[in-house]
Amino acid sequence: MAGDAGSVLKVSVWRSSGPGGVAAGDGRFETFEVPRQPSQTVLDVVTHIQRHCDPTLGYRFACRVGVCGSCAMVVNGEARWTCRTHVDKVAEGGRLEVAPLRNLPVIRDLATDMSAFFDKWARARGQFSGTRSRQEPFAVVEPQSEERRQVDLGIECIGCGVCYSSCDVVEWKPDYLGPAAMNRAWTLVNDVRDTARRERLAAVAGDAGCHACHTHMSCTERCPKHLPLTSAIAGLKRETTRALLRGEL
Amino acid sequence: MSPRAQAGLWFAQRMSAVVLAFAVVVHLATMIYAVRSGLSAAEILDRTRGNLPWFLFYAGFVVAIAVHLPIGLRNVIAETLGWRGRLLEACTAALAAGLLAWGLRAAWAVYAPGGA
């Protein structure tokens, strides 16, 4: 269905049953009718519902232009940035289904609690550890070096949670770190200035880390930034194995 | 189990997969050859008894299976049933020991000059 002015979109929106802190499965879909507009995004649709149909609808957004990563939701079964998803591309037969991200607890309706997602970045040692102070000269990182190229491939992650929501292993193993946290760890493993490589490799090894990845590649396929997340996890598998064989893990 | 030990299991499973990729092809080719050539059980045993290379091949095949299968089963059970911990590790370790014992016994049975 094209975005004909005058036509109507039928939108099923997930509504949580409680006022907050409810489990992801606790709720129901509610259907709204929304007028079609040219170049309409899914976020436009959700905003229309909140402003014109039901002001109690809870959802999260900020920038509206694919920079902040806060408006990710599951649209017709796939996690996406709603602000960068045109209705024309996803509405089949004039219908949309909008749900909160999977694998995260729902705060209210379409807004999820991202705490576990970001806690795992910390658990994967996603913090940079350097040695230089601000009084010392800048470290020189050769732009053409292999390490820097690997960092370039993964550094643009904005933490939207689309990969985490799309990952089967997170669903099966709730303690699994997930693609984004390990992508962050991989950029730091390749950061020549970083001094916590050994601790970081230990943090991402094992059943809750890179070794649990089944290489389904849903994260890579769904990442709105097209980051090679599965390759980053494979890189961690290689480096942890090297560390294991050297007795450094 | 420590992350180091878990990483070790992952590595052992990958290395045993390399052995299995080779061993399964050889095993299937051997079986197809034996069936298509119409070899009887006695004729097969006549070829395998006292044949050290075949014994070493099948002993290696058995070791690779005993390493590979229980590690994979441990992961499948943990992911699909949510069962984890020491009891699961003990059960899969017992399975590994059983596969090793039964497999080596079978390999020895077709190698030992007088039968097992």
Q: What are A187's two structure tokens?
A: 């950029």
Of residues A2 and B34, the one with the higher pLDDT is B34
Average pLDDT value for residue range A213-232: 97
Q: In the predicted model, is pLDDT for residue A1 greater than 80?
A: no
Q: Which domain holds residue A15?
A: 8-112
Give residue A25's pLDDT band: very low, low, confident or very high (50, 70, 90): low
Residue A42 located in a structural domain: yes
Residue A2 located in a structural domain: no
Distant-in-sequence contacts of A87-90, Cβ < 8 A, 24+ apart: A87/A3, A87/A9, A87/A36, A87/A40, A87/A41, A87/A42, A87/A44, A87/A45, A88/A1, A88/A2, A88/A3, A88/A40, A90/A42
Residue A56 located in a structural domain: yes
Residue A12 located in a structural domain: yes
Q: Are residues A146 and A217 in the same domain?
A: yes
Q: Are residues A107 and A129 in the same domain?
A: no
User: CATH number, domain at A123?
Assistant: 1.10.1060.10
- Predicted ipTM? 0.82
Q: Chain B, 12-71: which have a CB under 8 Å from a chain A CB?
A: none
> Cβ of A173 and B7 within 8 Å?
no
Question: Is B83 part of the contact surface with chain A (CB cutoff 8 Å)?
Answer: no
Question: Is A201 part of the contact surface with chain B (CB cutoff 8 Å)?
Answer: no
Q: In the predicted model, is pLDDT for residue A210 greater than 60?
A: yes
Place of tokens 């409680």: A18
Residue that is last in its domain, among A57, A88, A112: A112
> Cβ of A206 and B3 within 8 Å?
yes
Average pLDDT of the residues of chain A: 93
Disruptive mutation site among B6, B9, B92 for chain A (greatest number of A CBs within 10 Å): B6
Residue A48 located in a structural domain: yes
Q: Is A240 exposed, middle or buried (0-12, 13-18, 19+ CB in 10 A)?
A: buried
Separation of alpha carbons A87 and A89, rounded Å? 5
Q: Which pLDDT value is given to residue A130?
A: 92
Q: Are residues A101 and A130 in the same domain?
A: no
Q: Which pLDDT value is given to residue A92?
A: 86
Q: Are residues A73 and A165 in the same domain?
A: no
Residue that is last in its domain, among A62, A83, A112: A112
**Chain B contacts of A169, Cβ < 8 Å?**
79
> Cβ of B7 and A240 within 8 Å?
yes
Separation of alpha carbons A39 and A49, rounded Å? 17
Q: Which domain holds residue B89?
A: 3-111
Q: In the predicted model, is pLDDT for residue A2 greater than 60?
A: no
Q: Which pLDDT value is given to residue B115?
A: 56
Short-list B23, B4, B12, B3, CA closest to B93 = B12
> Cβ of A202 and B4 within 8 Å?
yes
Q: Are residues A15 and A60 in the same domain?
A: yes
Q: Are residues A147 and A241 in the same domain?
A: yes
Residue B27 located in a structural domain: yes
Q: What are A240's two structure tokens?
A: 């942890």
Question: Is B78 part of the contact surface with chain A (CB cutoff 8 Å)?
Answer: yes
Residue B116 located in a structural domain: no
Q: Are residues A99 and A203 in the same domain?
A: no
**Chain B contacts of A206, Cβ < 8 Å?**
1-4, 6-7
> Cβ of A249 and B6 within 8 Å?
no
Question: Is A173 part of the contact surface with chain B (CB cutoff 8 Å)?
Answer: yes
Count of the separate structural domains present in chain B: 1
Q: Which pLDDT value is given to residue B114?
A: 67
Short-list B67, B93, B74, CA closest to A207 = B74
Q: Are residues A68 and A120 in the same domain?
A: no
Q: Are residues A144 and A204 in the same domain?
A: yes
Find the range with the poorest average confidence among A14-28, A114-128, B62-76. Answer: A14-28
